[in-house]
Amino acid sequence: MTKPLVALLSGAGISTDSGIPDYRGPNGLWRRDPDAEKLVTYEYYMGDPEIRRRSWRMRRENRTLGAEPNAAHYAVAELERSGVPVRVITQNVDGLHQLAGMPARKVLELHGSAHGVVCTGCRARGPMEDALARLEAGEEDPPCLECGGILKPATVMFGERLDPEVLGQALSITKACEVFIAVGTSLQVQPAAGLAGVAADHGARLVIVNAEPTPYDELADEVVREPIGTALPEVLRGLGR
Give the closest residue to 174 by CA, choosing from 13, 10, 12, 5. Answer: 5
DSSP state of 3: P
Give the closest residue to 205 by CA, choosing from 237, 169, 177, 235. Answer: 177
Active-site residue, selected from the candidate residues 73, 97, 111, 115: 111
The angle subtended at Cα 15 by Cα 10 and Cα 18, nearest 5°, is: 160
Rg (CA), the chain: 18
Between CA 91 and CA 216 the distance in angstroms is 17
State how beta strands 151-155 and 112-119 pair.
antiparallel
Q: Give catalytic status of residue 115 as yes or no.
A: no
Catalytic positions are 111
